Amino acid sequence: MQENIGSPKKVMLVGMANSIHVARWIRLVANTDTEMYLFPSTLSQKLHSLIQEMVASHSIRLRAHRMNGLVWRIIWAVDLLLGNWIRGKLLERAIIKYQPDLIHILEFQHAGYLALKASSALKGKEILVTNYGSDIYWFSRFPRHERRIRALLGLATAYSAECQRDVLLAESFGFRGRTLPVIPNAGGFDEQQLYEEETPLAERNLILVKGYNGWSGQARLAVAALRGLSSELSNFSIIFYSCDWSTIIRVRLFLFGKGLRVQCFRKGVLSHSKMLELMGRARIYLGVSRTDGISTSLLESIARGAFPIQSVTSCANEWMEHCKSGYLLQDNTVDGIKAALAWSMKYTNNLSDTEWQAYRVDKKASLEQVVLQKVALRFY
């Protein structure tokens, strides 16, 4: 990448302006030597509150591409019929006007596919593409997506991912550029979050369940499994978080009135700090999905000491050892989840605090914010 001597590096970010993942990445790489320009890849023009705070405090040098709310919605509606042609032209014009040293595409299906519509302006540019969650692992199974994934990787000069699994997949789909270190692309945790005193697992009486239910999440199976364990869990509280309405309805229909203390929180209601506080009180975190990346919740459980049960359709195997520092759910069925919960309850009831800390010490060290920041800054 050519640098402008005596001036900051100019990085154009193409990503979801209201995403906590984008916001935490910006916080990770923020420094006085980098000037950033954010082009939104989705309908929402509202900057995430964390980005707003950083801009207001002058801790980052960032400008965001803005349009009148009504105009933006009209363009979006029309562009749905035109296959992102209008927004592709707007991105193209922004690249030509801003002349970035690096274009960083954060996520494939929205930002990446949009960038393909501005491919004429991308020629000769340094292009970093970051894989989010299931961008390649799941979507490459569909021919229409596979073609665009290959095209995007063909344009990329650099690639970053959270999982070694996805590095190998990118290479299998034709990526031949520079592979950057595998790190959580939403950053890590500060020392207090990682190393403050923890409540021993056996003394915790909370179970946290990811409430996604749709094309990837399978919270409905978790609801059914918990219903079958109502007597065993009578002394526990259960919290479903990041819920959609279908999960909330299922919980109300099948778990309320079964002797269980259950709460549901819709997606976005619980802050990051609140999630960490809950992970610090939880005996078990349960995430059931058809597909995932690391899963931010898994990292939060490692940081704060909840025992994780995570589907093997994620890359959780790169972060925990089965039946030791977590449980890799092989069987996404009601019976499989019930068996995983029953085993994990018994195991954590007898696991000493010393052992539990020892199993996680290396992974916690690799999640230190200052460590990840040093790595991330080298991306630019």
Residue type, 223: V
Q: Model confidence at 32, in pLDDT bands (50, 70, 90)?
A: low
Q: What is the DSSP letter of 108?
A: I
Task: Report the pLDDT value the prediction gives residue 157, as an integer from 0 to 100.
Answer: 98
Rounded to the nearest 10°, the torsion over CA 50, 54, 55, 61 is: -120
Residue range 109-166, pLDDT digits in tens: 999 999 999 999 998 999 999 999 899 999 999 999 999 999 999 999 999 999 999 9
Q: Is residue 25 part of a domain?
A: yes
Where is the domain boundary, 126, 161, 187?
Answer: 187
Same domain, 154 and 175: yes
Same-domain pairing of 92 and 78: yes
The answer to whether position 370 is within a domain reads: no
Same-domain check for residues 170 and 230: no
Contacting residues for 161 by C-beta, under 8 A, at least 6 apart: 130, 131, 167, 170, 182, 185
Q: What is the spatial distance between Cα 349 and Cα 335, in angstroms, rounded to a whole number?
A: 21
Closest C-alpha among 259, 243, 246 to residue 208: 243
Q: Does residue 70 share a domain with residue 209?
A: no
Is 15:41 a contact under the CB 8 Å cutoff?
Answer: yes
| pLDDT per residue as tens digits for the range 278-303 | 999 999 999 999 999 999 999 999 99
Cβ neighbours of residue 315 closer than 8 Å, sequence gap 6 or more: 162, 163, 164, 165, 166, 292, 293, 294
Instruction: Please indicate, yes or no, if residue 380 is contained in any of the structural domains.
Output: no
Per-residue pLDDT at 186: 83
- The answer to whether residue 311 is domain-embedded is yes
**How far apart are the C-alpha atoms of 350 and 355, rounded to whole Å?**
10
Please name which of 110, 132, 134, 139 lies closest in space to residue 44, comparing C-alpha atoms.
110
* Angle between the N-to-C axes of helices 49-56 and 20-29, in degrees from 0 to 180, rounded to the nearest 10: 30
Any residues with CB less than 8 A from the CB of 172 and at least 6 apart, and which?
Answer: none
- Enclosing domain of residue 287: 191-365
- Total Cβ atoms within 10 A of residue 346: 10
Contact 286, 309 (CB under 8 A): yes
CA-to-CA distance for 14 and 130, rounded, in angstroms?
10
CA 321 to chain centre: 21
- The span from the CA of 280 to the CA of 193, in Å, is 9
Give the model's pLDDT for residue 256.
86
Q: Which residue has the higher pLDDT, 260 or 341?
A: 341
DSSP 3-state of 249: helix
Which residues are 285's β-sheet partners?
A: 208, 308
pLDDT band at 35 (very low <50, low <70, confident <90, very high): very high
Q: Specify whether the CB–CB gap between 112 and 129 falls below 8 A.
A: yes
What average pLDDT does this structure show over 348-374? 95
Q: In a 3-state reduction of DSSP, which class is residue 135?
A: coil
The CATH number of the domain holding residue 205 is 3.40.50.2000
Q: Using the predicted structure, report yes or no on whether residue 1 has a pLDDT greater than 50.
A: no
- Could you tell me which residues are beta bridge partners of residue 14? 39, 105
Contacts of 182 (CB under 8 A, 6+ apart): 160, 161, 162, 163, 164, 167
One domain, residues 218 and 281: yes
- Same structural domain, 30 and 171: yes
Q: Are 292 and 216 in contact (CB under 8 A)?
A: yes
Query: Is the domain of 210 the same as that of 294?
Result: yes
Q: Backbone dihedral region of 283: left (phi > 0), alpha (psi from -120 to 50 degrees) or beta? A: alpha
Confirm whether 323 is domain-assigned. Answer: yes
The verdict on 181 and 202 lying in the same domain is no
Residue 373 lies in a domain: no
Question: Do residue 158 and residue 203 come from a single domain?
Answer: no
pLDDT over 80 at 2, yes or no: no
Average per-residue pLDDT in the chain?
A: 93
Distance in angstroms between the alpha carbons of the first and the last residue of the chain: 9
Residue among 196, 159, 195, 208 at smallest CA distance from 179? 159
Looking at the fold, whether 225 and 105 belong to one and the same domain comes out as: no
Same domain? For 344 and 309 the reply is yes
Give the end of a domain, one of 187, 204, 237: 187
Say if residue 48 is in the same domain as residue 183. Answer: yes
Element (H, E) at 83: none
Q: Give me the number of domains the chain comprises.
A: 2
Q: Which amino acid is at 165?
A: R
Residue 376 covered by a domain: no
Domain boundary among 161, 187, 213: 187
Task: Give a yes or no: residue 1 inside a domain.
Answer: no
